[in-house]
A and B are shown apart, each in its own frame.
Chain A
């Protein structure tokens, strides 16, 4: 492949912790291999080169929290053939979306005083503003799963998700089922491919990879209602899904 035929890739970030970009950097040799095959024309965190021409692929980490960021997102959309959300803040609203307007005002008062006029808007998934072509979920993303998706992308494969929930990798890891132990978990309805990393670390699954297509959310709620309080269930679903459309399934 000659140089000028390489796909032009831009990587942008809005409000978030930048942890997903750290995962990308953690790909090491795989990232180098990727950089050989695509032309990374803009990546604030990774390089000095920052071109603003057309992008074949724009990866967006984080989600806009100011009107300026929303405008920038729309500009990037116009310049990009494919727009891909990177990480749960971008794909579902994620952690920044836990906070909503009223709460934010309270914190403004407490931190900056009553005079302060905030410019922040509620965090929403990128899809609330522009058309998104694919979502690479995760808080943070799984480096390996992202590498698989990049590989499929540059090799011309149709992008898809693994057709399994978090339970697949949880069972392979021989972990006891939290639901059977009467502890809340979103594993059965959550999109898999994260390697069940939270469960391996002793935590529940909060569904940061998104709700799996066709998931039976109602069935899970019936189970959770047997041993968890409304508030507890709310906490599980609002961790990453506070503003995602899927939250309405409840």
Chain B
């Protein structure tokens, strides 16, 4: 038996779910931002200290769970990576308490060929009017109990190949990427200087990335002195003060080094620490860079030259 959902019932389903959950119908083409901000907010007060009571307080979680509806496979994969990053080696309390108070429903417009490891429920397109429902967690099974889901013996199952994306394919080969980017650093590949001349250092690539997770902390004090708040906000490694430490020393004063760090963290360090490149090829940084820097072309150039160097005679 296959659990199916009629496409035409999707709006009714989300409406029904919104009685129980805080439903966000995530439409990728309507925003530059990924869903990471729901868990790692662009700016948030983590906890507050009150001068009168001399006590710390953490904001309470909302009673209703958040349900993110409509993520595609790349975004689900990215969220899975972010979950891992925020869990190992140390748990990020503030991220995880929001994440644990949420449900993820993926809507995949092509046939799934690899098992999906993150999310609660996946709706996979099987024919022009139906989705197959695959629940991955208990919460997902609960959703499937909704009256809009039907069990069918032999629904029509068509094959919808995933739209080909060079960047997504590139991102899969994390070992090659790690080697090539490392090599490009050691060899001081001219691409870093080329990028330094065109990169605006605005940070948009990191803001729109579903996996970039670097943040900074800062204490905000109420002007009347009644309370202070420990705040965190998104940082981005291309920003001028990203590598500035206490005392004022900036370890990466040149944009070239900061921009390189973005690549190094994503493709080299991430591979060493998590066995992945921290890129799922979603294409946001490609699409939203105001300087039109195309990460796919940058990576391809690095890989091409790296592979050339491997085949070149040594000596």
| A binding-site residues for B, Cβ under 8 Å | 30, 33-34, 36-37, 147-148, 150-152, 154-155, 157, 163-165, 167-168, 171-172, 174, 177, 179-180, 187-189, 212-216, 218-220, 222-223
Q: Are B241 and A150 interface neighbours, CB within 8 A?
A: no
Main SS class of interface, B: loop
Distance, CA A120 to CA B201, complexed state (A): 39
Known: A168-B234, A180-B292, A219-B201. 13 other contacts (CB 8 A): A33-B224, A147-B223, A154-B223, A163-B235, A163-B240, A164-B203, A164-B236, A171-B288, A172-B42, A174-B33, A188-B202, A215-B201, A219-B197
Highest count of chain A CB atoms <10 Å: which of B33, B224, B292: B224
Interface string of B42-56 (1 = CB under 8 A from A): 100000000000000
- Does B5 sit at the interface, judged by CB under 8 A? no
Closest to B43 in A: A172
Q: Are A155 and B203 interface neighbours, CB within 8 A?
A: no
| B binding-site residues for A, Cβ under 8 Å | 30-33, 42, 196-204, 207-208, 216, 219-225, 234-236, 239-242, 253, 255, 288, 290-292
Known: A163-B239, A163-B241, A168-B234. A220 touches B200 (CB 8 A): yes
Known: A172-B42, A213-B240, A219-B199. A37 touches B204 (CB 8 A): no
The one of A36, A151, A167, A220 in contact with B222, judged by C-beta atoms closer than 8 angstroms, is A151
Q: Are B225 and A177 interface neighbours, CB within 8 A?
A: no
Q: Are B223 and A188 interface neighbours, CB within 8 A?
A: no
Main SS class of interface, A: helix
Q: Are B221 and A152 interface neighbours, CB within 8 A?
A: yes
Query: Within 8 Å CB of A163, what residues of B?
Result: 216, 235, 239-242
Query: Within 8 Å CB of A171, what residues of B?
Result: 32-33, 204, 207-208, 288
Distance, CA A179 to CA B290, complexed state (A): 6
Distance, CA A223 to CA B292, complexed state (A): 9
Query: Within 8 Å CB of B242, what residues of A?
Result: 163
A188 to chain B, nearest CB (A): 4
Query: Within 8 Å CB of A223, what residues of B?
Result: 200, 290-291
